[in-house]
Amino acid sequence: MRVAVLGAGGRVGKALVARIRAAGDLELAGTPGRDLALTPITGDVVVDFSGPTGTMALLDHLSGTDLPVVVGTTGFDPAQMQRLRDEGARRPLFVAANFTPGFGVFRKALLGLAQSLPQARLTLAETYNKAKKRQPSGTTLGLQADISALDPVREVEVALNREGEIAGITAFTLALDSAQITLTLNVDSRDAYAAGALEAARWLRGRAPGFYTDINAN
Protein backbone atom coordinates (compact mmCIF):
# COMPACT_ATOMS: atom_id res chain seq x y z
CA MET A 1 0.00 0.00 0.00
CA ARG A 2 1.37 3.43 -1.03
CA VAL A 3 1.21 6.02 1.80
CA ALA A 4 1.66 9.79 1.45
CA VAL A 5 2.50 11.71 4.63
CA LEU A 6 1.53 15.33 5.29
CA GLY A 7 3.76 16.70 8.04
CA ALA A 8 6.57 14.28 7.22
CA GLY A 9 9.21 16.63 8.65
CA GLY A 10 7.56 16.79 12.06
CA ARG A 11 8.03 14.77 15.23
CA VAL A 12 5.40 12.19 14.34
CA GLY A 13 5.93 12.56 10.60
CA LYS A 14 9.53 11.39 10.91
CA ALA A 15 8.41 8.35 12.86
CA LEU A 16 5.79 7.62 10.20
CA VAL A 17 8.29 7.84 7.34
CA ALA A 18 10.69 5.54 9.18
CA ARG A 19 7.97 3.00 9.87
CA ILE A 20 6.68 3.09 6.29
CA ARG A 21 10.16 2.53 4.94
CA ALA A 22 10.71 -0.39 7.30
CA ALA A 23 7.36 -2.05 6.59
CA GLY A 24 7.26 -4.77 3.96
CA ASP A 25 3.70 -3.95 2.89
CA LEU A 26 4.06 -0.17 2.71
CA GLU A 27 5.73 2.25 0.30
CA LEU A 28 6.24 5.99 0.83
CA ALA A 29 4.15 7.68 -1.87
CA GLY A 30 5.26 11.23 -1.12
CA THR A 31 5.81 13.87 1.54
CA PRO A 32 3.92 16.99 0.37
CA GLY A 33 4.93 20.28 1.94
CA ARG A 34 3.00 23.42 2.72
CA ASP A 35 2.36 24.36 -0.91
CA LEU A 36 0.25 21.42 -1.99
CA ALA A 37 -0.19 22.85 -5.46
CA LEU A 38 3.48 22.08 -6.07
CA THR A 39 3.21 18.43 -5.11
CA PRO A 40 0.39 16.35 -6.58
CA ILE A 41 -0.57 13.74 -4.01
CA THR A 42 -0.49 10.15 -5.25
CA GLY A 43 -0.82 6.90 -3.35
CA ASP A 44 -3.53 4.75 -1.79
CA VAL A 45 -3.92 6.72 1.46
CA VAL A 46 -2.75 9.98 3.00
CA VAL A 47 -1.73 10.19 6.66
CA ASP A 48 -1.87 13.69 8.14
CA PHE A 49 0.05 14.83 11.21
CA SER A 50 0.45 18.50 10.31
CA GLY A 51 -1.79 21.14 11.89
CA PRO A 52 -5.43 22.20 11.53
CA THR A 53 -4.62 24.60 8.66
CA GLY A 54 -2.67 21.87 6.92
CA THR A 55 -5.50 19.38 7.27
CA MET A 56 -8.03 21.78 5.82
CA ALA A 57 -5.70 22.61 2.93
CA LEU A 58 -5.23 18.89 2.31
CA LEU A 59 -8.97 18.28 2.09
CA ASP A 60 -9.34 21.24 -0.27
CA HIS A 61 -6.53 19.84 -2.39
CA LEU A 62 -8.12 16.38 -2.51
CA SER A 63 -11.51 17.77 -3.50
CA GLY A 64 -13.01 15.65 -6.27
CA THR A 65 -11.08 12.53 -5.23
CA ASP A 66 -12.14 9.74 -2.88
CA LEU A 67 -8.64 9.14 -1.55
CA PRO A 68 -8.74 7.77 2.02
CA VAL A 69 -7.23 10.04 4.67
CA VAL A 70 -6.05 9.29 8.21
CA VAL A 71 -6.06 12.44 10.36
CA GLY A 72 -3.91 12.50 13.48
CA THR A 73 -3.73 16.28 13.67
CA THR A 74 -5.49 17.82 16.67
CA GLY A 75 -6.52 21.34 17.71
CA PHE A 76 -9.44 21.80 15.32
CA ASP A 77 -12.03 24.49 16.03
CA PRO A 78 -15.72 23.52 15.90
CA ALA A 79 -16.12 24.57 12.26
CA GLN A 80 -13.07 22.57 11.22
CA MET A 81 -14.34 19.57 13.19
CA GLN A 82 -17.65 19.80 11.35
CA ARG A 83 -15.76 19.94 8.05
CA LEU A 84 -14.05 16.69 9.00
CA ARG A 85 -17.37 15.03 9.80
CA ASP A 86 -18.83 16.26 6.50
CA GLU A 87 -15.79 14.95 4.61
CA GLY A 88 -16.87 11.43 5.54
CA ALA A 89 -19.54 11.73 2.84
CA ARG A 90 -16.80 12.10 0.20
CA ARG A 91 -14.11 9.65 1.29
CA PRO A 92 -13.08 7.16 3.95
CA LEU A 93 -11.77 9.43 6.72
CA PHE A 94 -10.23 8.15 9.97
CA VAL A 95 -9.81 10.74 12.73
CA ALA A 96 -8.30 10.09 16.17
CA ALA A 97 -6.68 12.41 18.69
CA ASN A 98 -4.58 9.56 20.04
CA PHE A 99 -3.40 6.67 17.90
CA THR A 100 -1.46 4.91 20.66
CA PRO A 101 -2.22 1.19 20.27
CA GLY A 102 -4.26 0.31 23.36
CA PHE A 103 -5.65 3.80 23.82
CA GLY A 104 -9.19 2.49 23.37
CA VAL A 105 -8.68 0.07 26.27
CA PHE A 106 -7.20 2.84 28.42
CA ARG A 107 -10.17 5.09 27.64
CA LYS A 108 -12.70 2.33 28.42
CA ALA A 109 -11.02 1.54 31.75
CA LEU A 110 -10.85 5.23 32.65
CA LEU A 111 -14.56 5.75 31.95
CA GLY A 112 -15.44 2.55 33.84
CA LEU A 113 -13.59 3.81 36.91
CA ALA A 114 -15.25 7.23 36.70
CA GLN A 115 -18.68 5.65 36.39
CA SER A 116 -18.04 3.21 39.27
CA LEU A 117 -16.85 5.98 41.61
CA PRO A 118 -19.31 8.87 41.19
CA GLN A 119 -18.12 10.45 44.44
CA ALA A 120 -14.48 10.68 43.38
CA ARG A 121 -12.83 13.97 42.40
CA LEU A 122 -11.33 13.60 38.92
CA THR A 123 -8.02 14.95 37.61
CA LEU A 124 -6.48 14.55 34.17
CA ALA A 125 -2.77 15.44 34.21
CA GLU A 126 -1.10 15.56 30.79
CA THR A 127 2.61 15.87 30.07
CA TYR A 128 4.00 16.60 26.60
CA ASN A 129 7.08 18.01 24.91
CA LYS A 130 7.91 21.59 25.78
CA ALA A 131 7.02 22.84 22.28
CA LYS A 132 3.38 21.74 22.54
CA LYS A 133 0.94 24.56 23.15
CA ARG A 134 -0.06 25.03 26.80
CA GLN A 135 -3.67 24.16 26.18
CA PRO A 136 -5.43 20.85 26.77
CA SER A 137 -4.43 18.24 24.20
CA GLY A 138 -6.91 16.62 21.87
CA THR A 139 -6.58 13.52 24.02
CA THR A 140 -7.52 15.40 27.17
CA LEU A 141 -10.39 17.24 25.50
CA GLY A 142 -11.75 13.99 24.14
CA LEU A 143 -11.62 12.26 27.54
CA GLN A 144 -13.26 15.29 29.16
CA ALA A 145 -16.07 15.07 26.60
CA ASP A 146 -16.47 11.35 27.27
CA ILE A 147 -16.82 11.99 31.03
CA SER A 148 -19.25 14.82 30.40
CA ALA A 149 -21.32 12.48 28.24
CA LEU A 150 -21.53 10.11 31.24
CA ASP A 151 -22.46 12.91 33.65
CA PRO A 152 -22.81 16.51 32.36
CA VAL A 153 -22.21 18.00 35.80
CA ARG A 154 -19.09 15.90 36.60
CA GLU A 155 -16.03 18.15 36.80
CA VAL A 156 -12.54 17.12 35.70
CA GLU A 157 -9.57 19.17 36.88
CA VAL A 158 -6.93 19.41 34.12
CA ALA A 159 -3.22 19.83 34.81
CA LEU A 160 -0.88 20.77 31.94
CA ASN A 161 2.80 19.85 32.13
CA ARG A 162 5.33 20.52 29.37
CA GLU A 163 8.74 18.91 29.74
CA GLY A 164 11.63 18.07 27.44
CA GLU A 165 10.70 15.82 24.56
CA ILE A 166 8.18 13.69 26.45
CA ALA A 167 6.03 11.84 23.89
CA GLY A 168 2.90 11.81 26.04
CA ILE A 169 1.75 10.95 29.55
CA THR A 170 -1.92 11.00 30.50
CA ALA A 171 -2.53 10.37 34.22
CA PHE A 172 -6.14 10.05 35.35
CA THR A 173 -6.66 10.24 39.11
CA LEU A 174 -9.78 9.52 41.11
CA ALA A 175 -9.43 11.05 44.57
CA LEU A 176 -11.49 9.49 47.36
CA ASP A 177 -11.63 10.48 51.04
CA SER A 178 -8.39 8.86 52.05
CA ALA A 179 -7.16 7.13 48.93
CA GLN A 180 -6.48 7.74 45.27
CA ILE A 181 -6.64 5.59 42.16
CA THR A 182 -4.44 6.62 39.20
CA LEU A 183 -4.57 5.16 35.72
CA THR A 184 -1.67 6.29 33.50
CA LEU A 185 -0.97 6.01 29.78
CA ASN A 186 2.74 6.56 29.28
CA VAL A 187 3.80 6.75 25.64
CA ASP A 188 7.50 5.92 25.32
CA SER A 189 8.01 7.29 21.81
CA ARG A 190 6.13 8.87 18.94
CA ASP A 191 6.62 5.62 17.10
CA ALA A 192 3.56 4.42 19.03
CA TYR A 193 1.43 7.07 17.35
CA ALA A 194 2.91 6.18 13.96
CA ALA A 195 2.18 2.49 14.50
CA GLY A 196 -1.44 3.16 15.41
CA ALA A 197 -1.97 5.56 12.51
CA LEU A 198 -0.59 3.08 9.98
CA GLU A 199 -2.78 0.33 11.44
CA ALA A 200 -5.73 2.65 10.86
CA ALA A 201 -4.50 3.34 7.30
CA ARG A 202 -4.38 -0.37 6.50
CA TRP A 203 -7.87 -0.79 7.98
CA LEU A 204 -9.26 2.22 6.10
CA ARG A 205 -8.19 1.15 2.61
CA GLY A 206 -11.11 -0.24 0.64
CA ARG A 207 -13.71 0.98 3.17
CA ALA A 208 -16.81 2.82 2.06
CA PRO A 209 -16.79 6.59 2.50
CA GLY A 210 -17.42 7.52 6.12
CA PHE A 211 -16.16 9.29 9.25
CA TYR A 212 -14.35 6.61 11.23
CA THR A 213 -12.86 6.89 14.70
CA ASP A 214 -12.38 3.30 15.87
CA ILE A 215 -10.97 0.30 14.00
CA ASN A 216 -12.99 -1.93 16.29
CA ALA A 217 -16.22 -0.44 15.00
CA ASN A 218 -18.08 -2.64 12.53
Ligand X SMILES: O=C(O)C1=N[C@H](C(=O)O)C[C@H](O)C1
Ligand Y SMILES: NC(=O)C1=CN([C@@H]2O[C@H](COP(=O)(O)OP(=O)(O)OC[C@H]3O[C@@H](n4cnc5c(N)ncnc54)[C@H](OP(=O)(O)O)[C@@H]3O)[C@@H](O)[C@H]2O)C=CC1
10 binds, among ligand X, ligand Y, none (CB under 5 to 8 A by kind): ligand Y
Q: Which of 74, 127, 140, 173 binds ligand Y (CB under 6 A)?
A: 74
Q: Which of 50, 55, 127, 137 binds ligand X (CB under 6 A)?
A: 137
Q: Which of 68, 72, 136, 142 binds ligand Y (CB under 6 A)?
A: 72
Q: Which amino acid is at 215?
A: I
**Of 31-39, 85-93, 131-139, 153-161, which part binds ligand X (CB under 6 A)?**
131-139
> Could you tell me the end-to-end alpha-carbon distance of the chain, in angstroms, rounded to an integer?
22
d(CA 63, CA 72) in angstroms, rounded, equals 19
Q: Three-state DSSP class for 142?
A: helix
Q: Which of 1, 5, 13, 172 binds ligand Y (CB under 6 A)?
A: 13
The answer for 113, left when phi > 0, alpha when psi is -120 to 50, beta otherwise, is alpha
Q: How far is the CB of 117 from ligand X (least distance, A)?
A: 24
Which of 98/173 has CB closer to ligand X?
98
Half-sphere exposure of 84 (CA within 13 A, CB side): 27
Q: Which of residues 49-78 bind ligand X (CB under 6 A)?
A: 74
Across the beta sheet with 168-175, the strand order is 156-162, 121-128, 168-175, 180-187
26 binds ligand X (CB under 6 A): no
CA distances from 139 to 44, 158, 159, 171 (A): 27, 12, 13, 11
d(CA 76, CA 56) in angstroms, rounded, equals 10
Q: Mind giving me the DSSP string for 154-182?
A: --EEEEEEE-TT--EEEEEEEE-SS-EEE
Q: Which of residues 87-116 bind ligand X (CB under 6 A)?
A: 97-98
Binding track, positions 144-183, relative to ligand Y; x by CB under 6 A: ----------------------------------------
Interface residue list for ligand X (CB under 6 A): 74, 97-98, 128, 132, 137-139, 168
Binding site for ligand Y (CB under 6 A): 6-7, 9-13, 34, 49-51, 53-54, 57, 72-75, 96-99, 138, 193
